[in-house]
Amino acid sequence: MVVVVPRAPDSVAAVRGTLAGEPLHFARDAAGVFRSLGGIPLAPGAGDTAALEVVLERAGDAAPETVHVAVIARPRAAGAERLATAPQFAEPPDSALAARLRAERERVQEVLRRAHETPRLWHARFLRPRPGRITSRFGAAREFNGELESRHLGVDVAAPPGAPVRAANRGVVALVADLYYSGRAVFLDHGAGLVTGYFHLSRADVQPGDTVARGQVIGRAGATGRVTGPHLHWSATYGRVSVDPLDLLRLDPRELAAPPAPPVSP
């Protein structure tokens, strides 16, 4: 969602805040409107809310004004899926695997945390990384081999092995790794808290630290990790909050205009 503080008075020097515990990154446009992108956690049921806090910083010694709002999260009717995969992916992990999974989660969590430290890098609309059919939607309840249940925190796109996978928008490659469940994975840091992930790749064509353009090929589709067949799993997160990557396609960059440039001295 886009958080908007409309026409803040001149006495407001800056706006900060949090949504669902994640920092917001407000920018003020030429009309005096502050805007920030934010993420609302997946809502399993009706009536779930996310906490929004907005702090208006006043110029001089004036005390800041704080506003608290409970944002109602819209439940998603994504259905349920029963999937079959290799037996080892549905069994409880032994101590060695548990340690590996813990280390992998920590690496990914660090990428998500650092995205709040990166300035916003994208200024065009997001695009789909693959044009194929969507085979599984965000939020679907999943059962693997009748044992492991989870929520699908991404979108699966049909893709033959070796098909090109493109960056959904401009960003910096934050992580390229072979993960137990996600397989060969690329994470792009788009700045201001936003990260997209591209999983189950047969290969990655980028390296950590690369700046990639919108639509640039970053890898090839495959069937690595926990899969039922070749496809692309596309994810999006705002900080640690998983969001539907298809929602990014509806974002208008003009809704998050950068603050006006300072005047140039003669």
Please report the pLDDT score of residue 13 as a whole number.
83
pLDDT digits (tens, 9 = 90+) for 35-56: 999 998 876 555 578 899 999 9
Rounded to 5 degrees, φ, ψ at 159 are -160, 130
Please report the pLDDT score of residue 145 as a whole number.
44
Please report the pLDDT score of residue 266 as a whole number.
37
Cα–Cα distance between 227 and 225 in angstroms, integer?
6
Q: Is 203:219 a contact under the CB 8 Å cutoff?
A: yes
Q: How many CA atoms lie within 13 A of 175 on its CB side?
A: 25
Strands laid side by side in the 12-19 sheet: 22-23, 12-19, 49-58, 65-72
Please report the pLDDT score of residue 36 as a whole number.
93
Total-model pTM: 0.87
The candidate with the shortest Cα–Cα distance to 16, out of 90, 66, 72, is 66
Cα–Cα distance between 77 and 127 in angstroms, integer?
24
Please report the pLDDT score of residue 202 as a whole number.
97
User: Would you mind telling me the total number of residues written for the chain in this entry?
Assistant: 266
pLDDT under 50: residue ranges of the chain: 144-148, 259-266
Q: Is 33:8 a contact under the CB 8 Å cutoff?
A: yes
Please report the pLDDT score of residue 258 as a whole number.
62
Measured CA to CA in angstroms, residue 126 lies from 97, 136, 167, 257, 259 at distances of 36, 20, 9, 15, 21
pLDDT digits (tens, 9 = 90+) for 49-95: 889 999 998 877 778 889 898 887 766 655 555 555 555 555 677 88
Sign of the torsion formed by the C-alpha atoms of 130, 131, 134 and 135: negative
Please report the pLDDT score of residue 264 as a whole number.
42
Q: Kindly list the structural domains of the chain, giving each domain's residue range(s) and its CATH number in brackets, ordered by start.
A: 2-75 (2.60.40), 80-248 (2.70.70.10)
Let me know if 201 is exposed, middle or buried by CB neighbors in 10 A (0-12, 13-18, 19+): buried
Please report the pLDDT score of residue 261 as a whole number.
44
Cα–Cα distance between 115 and 106 in angstroms, integer?
14
